[in-house]
Amino acid sequence: MTLTVFALAAIALLALIFGALLGFAAIRFKVEGDPLVDQIDAILPQTQCGQCGYPGCKPYAEAIANGDDINKCPPGGETTIKELSALMGVEAKPLDAAHGVEDVKKVAFIREDECIGCTKCIQACPVDAILGAAKQMHTILMDECTGCDLCVDPCPVDCIDMVPVEVDSSHWEWKFNKVPVGDIPIRQMS
């Protein structure tokens, strides 16, 4: 009888100790947020365009972590899908055309003399890349624009164009179209 009581007491004590330990660990080593979501978010292109159907890249990252398809991001295109499939351990699928197609990189451009200063595009911009005030001309901060397209629709006078980003020589990818193979060091007859 005493043995049983002793055993029960010992187990109860152990349970208390471990419970306290686990409780402490849960508070002390609490993980803020979901690290997987952050990893996914880091892969997404952060255009915040909402073409995936979610209001921004972070929400889509959360959705992917909860099992949504990985092929809903047109700005990221194939590369993003590949990286996501490697991270999530799922098969890479082609881009879902319902959410748009992969396009060249673009930035918004306001035709300034047509702008009426309604501030609607400023409210639509997810990254605060539009500068302006009510009844004042607006303009786009080109370096901050992600090319998400969200400012185009709200504009009542249609003065916003999406302009493809031109490649300059420092961003050129060594793809020749005029000269076939101009940069190859030339071998000499000897």
Partner 1 sequence: MFTNYDEIIERISLNQLWDFPGGVNPPQQKTLSNQSSIEYLQVEKTYYVPVKQHIGIEGKLLVSEGDKVLKGQAITTSEAPFSVPVHAPTSGTVTKITDHVSAHPSGIPELSVIIDADDQDTWFELDPVPDYAKTSKSELIERICDAGISGMGGAGFPTHIKTNNSKPLEFLIINGIECEPYISSDDRLMREHAWQIRQGIDILVHILQPKQVIVAVEDNKPEALETMSIACQQKTNYQVVSVPTKYPAGGEKQLIQVLTSREVPSNGLPIDVGCIMYNVATCYAIADAIVEGKPLIERVVTLTGEGFKSPKNVWARLGTPIQSLLTYGDYDKSQQSSPRFIMGGPMMGFTVTSMLTPIVKISNCILVPADDELPHPEDERACIRCSACSDVCPASLLPQQLFWYSKAKELEKAEEYNLFDCIECGACAYVCPSEIPLVHYYRQAKADIRNQKEEKEKSDKAKIRFEDRKARLLKEKEQREEKHRLAAEARKASLSKDGGGAKDKIAAALARAKAKKEALAMQAPNASKITNSPESEKTKAVSLSEVSTQVAASQKTQGASPAKDGPEDDTAAAKKRLVAAVLAKAKAKKMAANKANKETKDL
Residue partners of 5: CB distance under 8 A and separation at least 6: none
The interface region with partner 1, picked from 7-15, 84-92, 112-120, 143-151 by CB under 8 A, is 143-151
Return d(Cα 95, Cα 30) in angstroms, integer.
37
Task: Indicate the helix (H) or strand (E) that contains 154.
Answer: none
Relative orientation angle of helices 77-88 and 35-43, to the nearest 10 degrees: 160
Nearer residue to partner 1 within complex by CB, 34 or 116:
34
User: Does the footprint of partner 1 cover residue 33 (CB under 8 A)?
Assistant: no
Q: Which amino acid is at 151?
A: C
Q: What is the DSSP letter of 107?
A: E
User: Contact with partner 1 (CB under 8 A): which of 121, 129, 140, 151?
Assistant: 129
Near partner 1 by CB under 8 A: residue from 46, 85, 119, 139: 46
30 binds partner 1 (CB under 8 A): no
Binding flag, residue 174, partner 1 (CB under 8 A):
yes
Give residues with Cβ within 8 angstroms of 126, minimum separation 6. Answer: 48, 49, 50, 56, 146, 148, 150
Cβ 92 to partner 1 shortest distance, Å: 15
- As a whole number of angstroms, the distance between CA 60 and CA 52 comes to 7
- Beta carbon nearer to partner 1, 113 or 168: 168
Q: Considering CB under 8 A, how many residues would be counted as binding partner 1?
A: 38
From residue 58, give the alpha-carbon distance in Å to each of 21, 25, 54, 92, 179.
34, 28, 9, 20, 43
Site string for partner 1, 64-103 (x = CB under 8 A): ----------------------------------------
Which among 5-13, 17-25, 95-103, 169-177 is the span making contact with partner 1, rule CB under 8 A? 169-177
Binding site for partner 1 (CB under 8 A): 41, 44-48, 56-58, 126-129, 143-144, 146, 167-169, 171-176, 178-190
